[in-house]
């Protein structure tokens, strides 16, 4: 058996997972309807959050003819969202070729550029799949040209420029080498993989002493932390004693207690695995990404794997709102701490500082990265509150640096004015503007600090017709003050049930987050005020019954549907003096100080 290792990479939503699913289905490794996006949150949101391994065999054993070599293709399906970009980078270090999927209508997008750049730098030769050619507005030839110029812009060498392109409908499991070709399945893609992806396995490599490098971590309740890594050289045997080396050479010893290989989506326990394969290993509880597992102490460590630094931080703390403990099962400081410690076992992009007295400082790669952690926690029954996400500053050579992002925006051309105006005010610099058919693509570089909180405004300003995505560029010298449009909060002065009548009165002052019947407490934020300053309101006030009857000219109440808070919305719009309260059933926004008097006193102290 021969082994080949590939990763599927692309901008978010361009069809990586659909393609992987179809590859599994057509090679008999998965039933109809089984998807790589297996996690509950992934299914709900329709996005990939965690990169995942699978493997397929080609030709499938039952179709292989006598004497035909069967190839095991290890495939890593990667997440497209920029917050998980560092995960992709680690994966790229451990495979031999990438399938770059590009949407035939959208063409290359920021994440396409990011993952392609990383791949080219690592010397990989991509196979390009132009996907979704069934879309009515698909423009496969244009996309191909754009991809080619992207390769050139990114400095691809001649061999890389000579990439093979396939056209696909991943959703239906079809790929072809020419648009005019007839094809019923993914055979052309599988054949291309066999032809072009370098062989990872060989008898010669098997003879060498063992070297394995983990690029991902997994956690199992019984087996503890596990490493997912590539066997570069040698054969790994269950029960063997090994040495673990950090990239700087520091060495410790350990023992392998279980080995799994990937077999479709299943993991298959094996007694040994050969060079070239990707395995999951148990028995090394302190193993970490980029270390080298080797057979003897004298072997050299493999080159380190970079892990991108966090860009934002926020505090996690025990919920102490008046509604605390009503909905959660796990609410104490200790329980939250233990959960966060467990998260660190697998969530490589995350850092946590446990030194605070009554809070934990959590560092992440973006709002979605943090929101996913919070969403998982609330589903498991945790209750907590978090502070406003803040950008991380770094000191280097006596200079303060802050994270910057590249933001790419596609909007109907008549809307570019408002976008440019708002992003400029947030210290964004437009570096490109390209009109296309009936929309315009704008590219900005902007400090993360200025960009935080813009998404919601963008959706409103463009009536949901724009596409916006961002990509961390790295740390750059800090720019000055940023003029955020401060939106005031509508803060409840009372405890009780919100009534339709009072919400109706309040809705012309701003946007309301709650519907009638919602229980509120003093200090809870129930909406925002377009005028800019906080406003104390009483959402529990009803209309005097007698009044209503007497007036005779009562108007019907038309309540605008509330703009309900989700975790991401909450993180994005919250102000500095607020907490987001997260429980299994609710997401509420509140003032840190619940009474107006306490808030005044706090302001005075500043």
Ligand X SMILES: Nc1nc2c(ncn2[C@@H]2O[C@H](COP(=O)(O)OP(=O)(O)OP(=O)(O)O)[C@@H](O)[C@H]2O)c(=O)[nH]1
Contacts of residue 88, defined as CB under 8 A and 6 or more positions apart, other chains included, come to 7, 9, 51, 78, 79, 115, 118
The least distance separating Mg ion from the CB of residue 88, rounded to whole angstroms, comes to 11
Q: Which is nearer to ligand X, 46 or 480 (CB)?
A: 46
Between CA 70 and CA 423 the distance in angstroms is: 54
SS3 label, residue 293: strand
- Gap between the Cα atoms of 35 and 17, Å rounded: 8
CB of 220 to ligand X, least distance (A): 24
Q: Is 7 in the site for ligand X (CB under 6 A)?
A: no
Among 17-25, 303-311, 394-402, 478-486, the segment contacting Mg ion (CB under 5 A): 17-25
Provide the minimum distance between the beta carbon of 468 and ligand X in the complex, in angstroms, as a whole number. 15
- Residue 11 sits in the site that holds Mg ion (CB under 5 A): no
| Cα 105-110-114 angle, rounded to 5 deg | 125
CB 252 within 8 A of CB 235: no
Tell me whether residue 87 or residue 402 sits nearer to ligand X (CB atom).
Answer: 87
* Smallest distance, ligand X to C-beta of residue 330, A: 29
d(CA 351, CA 372): 15
Asked if 210 is part of the footprint of ligand X (rule: CB under 6 A), the reply reads no
Binding residue (CB under 6 A) for ligand X from 92, 150, 169, 514: 169
12's contact among ligand X, Mg ion, none, with CB below 5 to 8 A by partner kind, is ligand X
Which listed residue (5, 13, 366, 446) binds ligand X by CB under 6 A? 13
Which string of x and - marks every residue 66-95 that binds ligand X (by CB under 6 A)?
-------------xxx--------------
* Least distance (Å) between residue 164 CB and Mg ion: 22
Nearer to ligand X, 37 or 233 (CB): 37
| Residue 169 binding partner per list ligand X, Mg ion, none, with a CB distance cut-off of 5 to 8 Å that depends on partner kind | ligand X
φ, ψ (nearest 5 deg) of residue 254: -165, 180
CA nearest neighbour of 452 among 470, 465, 464: 470
Stretch of 45-53, 128-136, 242-250, 467-475 contacting Mg ion, by CB under 5 A: 45-53
Cα 547 from Cα 428, distance rounded (Å): 53
CA distances from 37 to 17, 34, 369 (A): 7, 9, 17
CA distances from 446 to 407, 415, 430, 443, 564 (A): 7, 19, 9, 10, 28
Q: Which of residues 114-143 bind ligand X (CB under 6 A)?
A: 131-132, 134-135
From the list ligand X, Mg ion, none, partner contacted by residue 561 (C-beta under 5 to 8 A by kind): none
| 17 is an interface residue for ligand X by CB under 6 A | yes
- Our finding on whether 17 is near Mg ion (CB under 5 A) is yes
Minimum distance of Mg ion from residue 17's CB (angstroms): 3
3, 5, 15, 534: which one binds ligand X (CB under 6 A): 15
How far does CA 413 lie from the centroid of its chain? 29
| Alpha-carbon Rg for the chain in angstroms | 27
Residue of 48, 74, 165, 213 that binds Mg ion (CB under 5 A): 48
Q: Per-residue x/- mask for ligand X, residues 42 to 61, rule CB under 6 A?
A: ----xxx-------------
β-pair type (236-237, 578-582):
unpaired
Residue nearest to ligand X (CB): 80
Q: Judge contact between 469 and 110, C-beta under 8 A.
A: yes
CB of 521 to ligand X, least distance (A): 37
Q: Where does residue 67 fall: left (phi above 0), alpha (psi -120 to 50 degrees), or beta otherwise? A: left
Q: How far is the CB of 305 from ligand X (least distance, A)?
A: 22
| Binding flag, residue 366, ligand X (CB under 6 A) | no
Positive or negative, the CA dihedral 92, 97, 103, 106 is positive
Catalog residues that contact Mg ion under the rule CB under 5 A: 16-17, 48
Catalog residues that contact ligand X under the rule CB under 6 A: 10, 12-18, 46-48, 79-81, 131-132, 134-135, 169-171
């Amino acid at each position: 058996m021969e082994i080949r290792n590939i990763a599927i990479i692309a901008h978010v939503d361009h069809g990586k997972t659909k393609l992987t699913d179809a590859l599994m289905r057509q090679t008999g490794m998965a039933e109809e309807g089984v998807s790589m996006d297996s996690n509950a949150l992934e299914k709900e949101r329709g996005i990939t959050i965690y990169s995942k391994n699978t493997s397929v065999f080609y030709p499938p054993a039952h179709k292989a003819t006598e004497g035909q070599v069967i190839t095991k293709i290890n495939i890593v399906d990667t997440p497209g969202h920029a917050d998980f970009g560092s995960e992709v980078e680690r994966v790229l270090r451990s495979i031999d070729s990438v399938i770059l999927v590009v949407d035939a209508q959208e063409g290359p997008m920021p994440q396409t550029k990011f993952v392609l750049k990383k791949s080219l730098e690592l010397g990989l030769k991509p196979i390009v799949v132009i996907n979704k050619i069934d879309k009515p507005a698909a423009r496969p030839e244009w996309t191909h040209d754009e991809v080619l110029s992207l390769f050139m812009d990114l400095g691809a060498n001649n061999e890389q420029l000579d990439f093979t392109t396939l056209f696909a409908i991943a959703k239906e499991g079809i790929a072809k080498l020419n648009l005019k070709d007839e094809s019923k399945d993914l055979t052309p893609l599988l054949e291309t993989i066999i032809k072009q992806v370098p062989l990872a396995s060989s008898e010669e490599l098997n003879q060498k002493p063992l070297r394995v490098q983990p690029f991902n971590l997994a956690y199992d309740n019984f087996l503890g932390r596990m490493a997912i890594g590539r066997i570069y050289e040698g054969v790994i045997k269950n029960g063997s004693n090994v040495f673990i080396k950090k990239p700087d050479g520091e060495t410790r010893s350990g023992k392998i207690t279980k080995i799994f290989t990937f077999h479709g989506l299943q993991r298959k326990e094996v007694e040994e695995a050969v060079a070239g394969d990707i395995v999951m290993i148990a028995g090394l509880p302190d193993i970490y990404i980029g270390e080298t597992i080797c057979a003897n102490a004298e072997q050299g460590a493999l080159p380190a794997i970079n892990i991108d630094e966090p860009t934002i931080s926020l505090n996690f703390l025990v919920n102490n709102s008046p509604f605390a403990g009503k909905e959660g099962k796990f609410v104490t400081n200790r329980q939250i701490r233990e959960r966060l410690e467990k998260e660190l076992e697998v969530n490589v992009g995350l850092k946590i500082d446990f030194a605070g007295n009554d809070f934990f400082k959590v560092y992440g790669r973006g709002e979605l990265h943090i929101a996913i952690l919070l969403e998982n926690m609330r589903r498991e029954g945790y209750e907590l509150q978090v502070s406003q996400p803040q950008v991380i500053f770094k000191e280097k050579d006596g200079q303060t640096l802050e994270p910057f992002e590249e933001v790419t925006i596609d909007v109907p051309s008549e809307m570019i004015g408002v976008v440019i105006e708002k992003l400029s005010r947030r210290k964004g610099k437009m570096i490109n503007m390209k009109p296309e058919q009936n929309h315009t693509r704008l590219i900005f570089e902007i400090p993360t600090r200025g960009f935080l909180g813009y998404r919601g405004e963008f959706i409103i300003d463009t009536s949901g017709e724009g596409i916006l995505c961002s990509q961390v560029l790295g740390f750059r010298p800090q720019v000055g003050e940023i003029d955020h449009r401060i939106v005031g909060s509508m803060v409840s002065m009372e405890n009780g049930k919100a009534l339709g009548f009072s919400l109706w009165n309040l809705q012309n002052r701003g946007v309301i987050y709650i519907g009638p019947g919602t229980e509120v407490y003093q200090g809870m934020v129930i909406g925002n005020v377009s005028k800019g300053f906080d406003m104390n309101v009483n959402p529990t006030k009803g209309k005097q019954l007698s009044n209503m009857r007497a007036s005779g000219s009562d108007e019907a109440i038309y309540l605008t549907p509330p703009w309900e808070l989700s975790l991401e919305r909450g993180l994005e719009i919250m102000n500095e003096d607020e907490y987001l309260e997260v429980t299994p059933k609710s997401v509420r926004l509140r003032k840190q100080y619940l009474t107006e008097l306490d808030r005044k006193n706090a302001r005075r102290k500043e």
